[in-house]
């Protein structure tokens, strides 16, 4: 039996998203897009990540017949949206805000295909232990925080800061795989060989 991996168009430059999709057997044609990521006045964090995921998917789908996925991740604490850090000071300020507290990670995923645009937005709660200033500086020096929302990577050294998580680990890394698989199957992608499908 030969298993042919379904091909998806991935409107993302994130290596994490491609690796997460590979982990569930989905091969991606990578097509990063540049969209305006400025939050709108009064926009909630959930509406913000959902809008960006949708805009990425729609921009990535242009001119293609492949099912196309866009996603966006933001770290949220006290109602503030933390994106990627600009520099060391910004990263340390973010980690100071997260130190010793619970916060939310919101990841939205949008998938275009025969069923139109399908979306999901997942909130995961993360508790961090207190982080010393020396640890923040050492963490920045690893290079890991630079391209991560909230200035940390749960799949990397920041795992040492994460005391508890309630929700989806893959969503914190960049793509909620449970919800993503459901959206891909609804768009007609076969994630199992020989027509085996998810029980609905
Ligand atoms: C909180 C957290 C975020 N991240 C990453 C996931 C996302 O790649 C990134 C948030 O930035 P995003 O803007 O969501 O994504 P991106 O710019 O990396 O890729 P693209 O817009 O092209 O899809 O932070 C981790 O890898 N680990 C974590 O623990």
Greatest pairwise CA separation for the chain in angstroms: 55
How far apart are the C-alpha atoms of 23 and 12, rounded to whole Å? 16
Does the residue 93 lie in any domain?
A: yes
Return the pLDDT at 192. Answer: 87
Long-range contacts of 1-8 (CB under 8 A, 24+ apart): 1/193, 1/194, 3/193, 6/184, 6/189, 6/190, 6/191, 7/66, 8/66, 8/67, 8/68, 8/69, 8/184, 8/189
Q: Is 76 in the pocket of ligand 1 (CB under 6 A)?
A: no
Specify the CATH number for the domain of residue 52.
Answer: 3.90.950.10
Catalytic residue numbers read: 72
Q: Please report the atom of ligand 1 found closest to the CA of residue 49.
A: 14
Does the residue 77 lie in any domain?
A: yes
How is residue 89 written in tokens?
A: 């000071």
Q: What is the pTM of this model?
A: 0.95
Does the residue 199 lie in any domain?
A: no
Instruction: Determine which residue's CA is closest to atom 25 belonging to ligand 1.
Output: 173
Q: What's the domain range around 147?
A: 7-191
Does the residue 198 lie in any domain?
A: no
Residue whose structure tokens are 């949008």: 110
Q: What is the mean pLDDT of each run of 10 residues along the chain (200 residues)?
A: 74 96 95 94 96 98 96 96 95 98 98 98 98 97 96 98 98 98 96 71
Does the residue 98 lie in any domain?
A: yes
Does the residue 196 lie in any domain?
A: no
Mutate to test the pocket of ligand 1, among 58, 148, 167, 169 (most ligand atoms within 8 A of CB): 148
Distance 137 CA to ligand 1 centre (A): 21
Among residues 128, 199, 189, 195, the alpha carbon closest in space to that of 5 is found at: 189
Return the pLDDT at 193. Answer: 76
Return the pLDDT at 198. Answer: 62
Does the residue 197 lie in any domain?
A: no
Q: Is 182 in the pocket of ligand 1 (CB under 6 A)?
A: no
Spatial CB neighbours of 187, under 8 Å, sequence gap ≥ 6: 67, 111, 112, 113, 114, 115, 118
Q: How many domains is the chain partitioned into structurally?
A: 1
Does the residue 82 lie in any domain?
A: yes
What ipTM score was computed for the predicted complex, to two decimals? 0.98
Cβ contact 118:187 at 8 Å: yes
């Amino acid at each position: 039996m030969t298993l042919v991996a379904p091909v998806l168009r991935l409107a993302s430059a994130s290596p994490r998203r491609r690796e997460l999709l590979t982990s569930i057997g989905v091969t991606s044609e990578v097509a990063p897009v540049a969209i305006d990521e400025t939050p709108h006045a009064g926009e909630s964090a959930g509406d913000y990540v959902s809008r960006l995921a949708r805009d990425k998917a729609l921009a990535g789908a242009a001119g293609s017949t492949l099912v196309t996925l866009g996603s966006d991740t933001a770290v949220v604490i006290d109602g503030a949206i933390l994106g990627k850090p600009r520099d060391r000071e910004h990263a340390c300020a973010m980690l100071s805000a997260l130190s010793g507290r619970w916060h939310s990670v919101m990841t939205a995923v949008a998938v275009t295909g025969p069923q139109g645009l399908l979306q999901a937005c997942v909130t995961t709660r993360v508790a961090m232990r207190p982080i010393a200033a020396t640890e923040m500086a050492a963490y920045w020096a690893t290079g890991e925080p630079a391209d991560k929302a909230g200035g940390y990577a749960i799949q990397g050294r920041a795992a040492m800061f994460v005391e508890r998580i309630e929700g989806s680990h893959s969503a914190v890394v960049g793509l909620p795989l449970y919800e993503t698989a459901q959206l891909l199957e609804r768009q007609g992608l076969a994630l199992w060989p020989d027509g085996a499908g998810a029980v609905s």
